[in-house]
Amino acid sequence: MVLTSYWITFISTQSNEVLESTAKKMKMNMKNMQTQRTTRASIKYLLVACLFTFLGCETDDTQTVATFTQLTMSDEFDTDGAPDSSIWGFDIGTGQDGWGNQELQYYTDRPDNVIVQNGFLLITANQESFEGSNYTSARLTTKDKFEQRYGRFEARMRLPWGHGIWPAFWMLGADDDENPWPGAGEIDIMEYRGQNPSILIGTVHGPGYSGGESISKEYTLPNDRFDTGFHVFGIEWGPNYINYYVDDVLYNHITPEDIDEETDGQGVWVFDKPFYILINLAVGGTFLGPPNAETEFPQTLIVDYVRVYKSND
């Protein structure tokens, strides 16, 4: 918790120009390291793919290899103030039935809930009375601004924590106005219950497998917590597969065959069309329950960058 307090204090401080300069240099160094790591990983995957091809070996379905190297969208959050309006819009309010999940927060676009500072996007959940709700937060979306079919979608984040705290990095089918949920499909790249700070979940929802019947898998961070450091959460998505990653670890692989098996042939694969991105920080809901007496506020989801790639093929 010493590291958590340090970063929240660090990011919130603007009066010391030396600290701001140091923060930006540190972020640039971290991004350079991440770029190098991604390049090394891509080379590694290419070598593995070549090895399997050369040997003519049969491989199991968890070894699907894809290379997405052409950057199509990137937000590095390098300009202080409101998020880039050419990329991000906002969902405002409480939605229908708490956004379908009985969530407790009111989403706003106020700087108190969403702001870019010192090279990071900060989404903050506050405990306050606002428009009939007891909590506020923010939900960003690229709907009608950016959408893509297939590719690598990733974000580097440090997650908040506490009972009833629910951050998510996810996607919805771009035809959801004409094809309401779950018909348009949903890909949850990362969602997490704040009371379980070492466990995240990767999930798909679609016709015949939504809500409590969705298809998902958990990942447990070995000997660590997601609220004490940054991690890269991503998917690599192509025809007939979605691979889920935390940092360099492939932990989930979903195919049409998995959906057929899980739904006794009743589910429909709807992941062959463009999707758009959402990032939000919810409070409470049926997924994890409400905050309790030990939940501390404010809680902040810290986003270093969001990047999307496509294949060069």
Q: CA 125, CA 8: separation in Å to the nearest integer?
A: 13
- How far is residue 291's CA from residue 119's CA, in Å, rounded to a whole number? 29
| Cα Rg of the chain (Å, integer) | 19
- Per annotation, catalytic residue among 103, 147, 154, 186: 186
Q: Which two tokens stand for residue 304?
A: 């270093």
In three state form, how does the secondary structure of 262-294 look?
HCCCCCCCCCCCCEEEEEEEEECCCCCCCCCCC
Contacts of 254 (CB under 8 A, 6+ apart): 204, 215, 241, 242, 244
Q: Would you state the structure tokens that stand for residue 6, as one six-digit string?
A: 């340090």
Instruction: Note if 191 is an active site residue.
Output: yes
- Catalytic residue chosen out of the listed positions 191, 236, 257, 296: 191
Q: What is the sign of the dihedral through the CA atoms of 104, 87, 112 and 92?
A: negative
Instruction: Say which amino acid occupies 172.
Output: L
CA distance 236 to 70: 13
Q: Determine which helix (DSSP H) or strand (DSSP E) holds 158, and give its type and residue range.
A: strand 151-158
- Residue 101 is classified by DSSP as I
CA gap 91, 276 in Å, rounded: 13
Let me know if 213 is a catalytic residue.
no
Q: Which residues are the active-site residues?
A: 186, 191
